[in-house]
Amino acid sequence: MYLLGKYFCIFIISLFYSQAYAGCVLPVPDGDGPIPSHANVKGHIVSIKNNIVTVRSNMTKNKVSVIVPEDLTLYSALGGSSEAKGTRGLLVGQKAWVWFVGCKRDRKTIPEAAYFQIFSSAPNDQP
């Protein structure tokens, strides 16, 4: 019994550390795949200039600028990709969740989006 408890504790500790230090996990369209990392910014788009989109964070109310690569596919919250790539199809005022490359932000540079999820104005397409 003691041996079983010891192995169970080791298993729980290993599981905790593997989850706590897991790498960046981007969402998979249509919800398949592992649980994604938390989005780096969740908010509303306040400006779009060339390939830089600025989102006002719902949590901090700060503005966060993000580089959106021209070939980045935009995904809708209800699943699937939109027809647009890059900043085409984005609208000021639109709700968006953004994951940065590596899920990390270097405060010295503008982060690049690795995954960009948008929400329509439909009531059933809201977080």
Reported as a single tens digit per residue, the pLDDT across 42-84 is: 999 999 999 999 999 999 999 999 999 999 988 887 765 565 6
Report how far residue 114's alpha carbon sits from residue 124's, in angstroms, rounded to the nearest whole number: 25
Q: What is the mean pLDDT of residues 100-113?
A: 93
Assess if CATH 2.40.50.140 describes domain 2-125. Answer: yes
Kindly write down the DSSP assignment for every residue of 11-76, as one continuous string.
HHHHHHHHHHT-------GGG-SSPPPPPSEEEEEEEEETTEEEEEETTT--EEEEE--TTPEEEE
More confident residue, 107 or 3: 107
Q: pLDDT value at position 116?
A: 94
For the chain, the structural domain boundaries read 2-125
Query: Rounded CA gap, 64 and 82, in Å?
Result: 23
Please report the pLDDT score of residue 86 as a whole number.
79
pLDDT confidence of 125, banded at 50, 70, 90?
low
Mean predicted lDDT score pLDDT of the chain: 81
Which tokens is 20 given?
């706590």
- 33-48 mean pLDDT: 95
Q: What is the pTM of this model?
A: 0.75
Q: Cβ of 24: how many Cβ atoms within 10 Å? A: 15
